[in-house]
């Protein structure tokens, strides 16, 4: 099958740029970082998996009760969502079986070897809590993070609206970890199963919840879904403004280079192929969902969502200038909050498309 001209042009452009940029480097753009002086958010990092796997199985009843009393909301959520038991009394036999299960013990032992002290994760959690409080002062602040084993389902307890978040350490053991391969987790998903991605994934989960609570896609056209996913990316970036974009968005450094070098060509391709307002799943799905990356054939999966993020960034800059003129008495924090809420609530694609001009190189 003949390679589309748009892709050929993209590769010519990218390969020229490869002489200037190392494939192992990460392109980091300067993002807006607000002043958060006076907000001293601190997150208590609780090693729940250690407390759980160190329960005395010979005295499981009282031990479980003590754990539930200490961490009632998280323990209840963990038992039901991860182990599938209603409560510690009716599910005691199942809990004992799990604690004595060789595979579970293997995972636990591996996690303890990989995760000793966690200073970087602690720093990122404090930053996440600080910017969350900066932008959402009326929301309950979260001040706890629980590490746990998710049985390789990182979406379970990724974030809970009870003032804490969960960090599934068994989903951060590195690409090629044998159980990932056994469970047939795609390589493109395994690539983000690292400790460096742990807090960015938590921020993404928070962003997904916040965006879903405020808005939904206007329709099922590609542009609607690009902008919706782009809002999640934008909010993730806002919550962790000093973290590299490749970690925030789930791309590799090389994939980020392909996206950034080919932003104009991607936009041109979507417009030229009349995909922007298409709702044909087979045609548009690769632009808004993760997938394998074959640079000789195509752009990275989910690159359309990233393009939506870029459109939102362009809209944000214009909106900031407009609001500064219209509401000069707003404090910087009030301005930032209004900008964010306006972006999240806006669903009309033309508002984002009107003044968006992708860079040509």
Q: Does the structure show a pLDDT above 70 at 22?
A: no
- pLDDT at residue number 298: 66
Mean pLDDT value of segment 53-75: 94
DSSP one-letter code for 44: E
DSSP states along 230-250: HHHHHHHHHHSTTS-HHHHHT
Q: Does the structure show a pLDDT above 60 at 156?
A: no
3-state secondary structure string across 90-116: CCHHHHHHHHCCHHHHHHHHHHHHHCC
Phi and psi of 296, rounded to 5°? -75, -15
Q: Does the structure show a pLDDT above 70 at 69?
A: yes
Cβ neighbour number for residue 32 with a 10 Å cutoff: 13
- pLDDT at residue number 137: 94
DSSP alpha helices (H): ranges in the chain?
Answer: 5-18, 48-53, 60-70, 72-81, 92-99, 102-114, 119-135, 178-182, 187-190, 198-214, 222-239, 245-249, 253-261, 263-272, 281-288, 303-326, 332-345, 349-353
- pLDDT at residue number 157: 56
* pLDDT one-digit tens code per residue, 103-136: 999 999 999 999 999 999 999 999 999 999 999 9
Q: How confident is the model at residue 295 (pLDDT cuts 50, 70, 90)?
A: low
* pLDDT one-digit tens code per residue, 323-352: 999 999 999 999 999 999 999 999 999 999
Pairing mode of beta strands 144-148, 159-160: unpaired
Q: How confident is the model at residue 81 (pLDDT cuts 50, 70, 90)?
A: confident
- pLDDT at residue number 27: 34
* pLDDT one-digit tens code per residue, 163-187: 889 999 999 999 999 999 999 999 9
Bigger pLDDT: 170 vs 293: 170
Mean pLDDT value of segment 272-284: 95
- pLDDT at residue number 7: 36
Q: How confident is the model at residue 272 (pLDDT cuts 50, 70, 90)?
A: very high
Model pTM score = 0.88
Counting beta carbons within 10 angstroms of the beta carbon of residue 132, is it exposed (0 to 12), middle (13 to 18) or buried (19 or more)? buried
- The C-alpha angle 254, 257, 260, rounded to 5 degrees, equals 155
- pLDDT at residue number 1: 36
DSSP one-letter code for 161: B
Percent of the chain residues past pLDDT 90, beyond the cut: 73
- Tell me the average pLDDT of the chain: 87
**Nearest residue to 39 (alpha-carbon basis) of 353, 347, 330, 333:** 333
Mean pLDDT value of segment 29-44: 86
Bigger pLDDT: 6 vs 91: 91
Mean pLDDT value of segment 195-216: 94
Q: How confident is the model at residue 160 (pLDDT cuts 50, 70, 90)?
A: low
Q: Does the structure show a pLDDT above 80 at 208?
A: yes
Mean pLDDT value of segment 25-53: 82
């Amino acid at each position: 099958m003949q390679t589309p001209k748009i892709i050929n042009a993209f590769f010519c452009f990218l390969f020229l740029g490869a002489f200037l940029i190392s494939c192992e480097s990460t392109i980091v753009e300067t993002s807006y970082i607000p002043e958060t002086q006076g907000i001293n958010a601190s997150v208590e990092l609780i090693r729940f998996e250690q407390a759980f796997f160190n329960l005395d199985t010979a005295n499981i009843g009282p031990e479980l009760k003590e754990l539930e009393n200490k961490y009632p909301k998280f323990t209840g959520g963990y038992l039901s969502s991860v182990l599938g038991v209603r409560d510690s009394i009716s599910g005691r036999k199942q809990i004992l079986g799990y604690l004595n299960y060789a595979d579970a013990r293997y995972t636990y032992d591996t996690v303890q070897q990989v995760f000793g002290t966690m200073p970087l994760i602690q720093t990122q959690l404090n930053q996440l809590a600080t910017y969350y409080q900066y932008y959402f002062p009326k929301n309950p602040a979260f001040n706890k993070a629980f590490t746990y084993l998710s049985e390789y389902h990182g979406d379970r307890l990724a974030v809970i609206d009870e003032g804490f978040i969960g960090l599934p350490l068994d989903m951060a053991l590195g690409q090629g970890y044998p159980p990932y391969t056994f469970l047939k987790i795609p390589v493109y998903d395994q690539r983000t199963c690292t400790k460096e991605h742990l807090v960015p994934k938590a921020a993404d989960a928070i962003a997904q919840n916040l965006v879903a609570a405020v808005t939904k896609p206007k329709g099922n056209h590609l542009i609607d879904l690009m902008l919706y996913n782009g809002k999640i990316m934008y909010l993730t970036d806002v919550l962790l403004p000093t973290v590299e974009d490749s970690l925030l968005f789930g791309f590799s450094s090389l994939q980020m280079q392909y996206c950034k070098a080919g932003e104009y060509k991607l936009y041109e391709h979507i417009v030229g192929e009349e995909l922007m307002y298409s709702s044909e799943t087979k045609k548009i799905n690769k632009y808004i969902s993760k997938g394998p990356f074959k640079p000789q054939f195509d752009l990275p999966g989910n690159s359309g969502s990233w393009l939506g993020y870029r459109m939102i960034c362009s809209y944000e800059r214009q909106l900031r200038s407009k609001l500064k003129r219209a509401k000069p008495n707003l404090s910087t924090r009030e301005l930032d909050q209004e900008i964010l809420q306006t972006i999240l609530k806006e669903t009309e694609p033309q508002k984002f498309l009107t003044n968006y001009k992708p860079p040509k190189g």
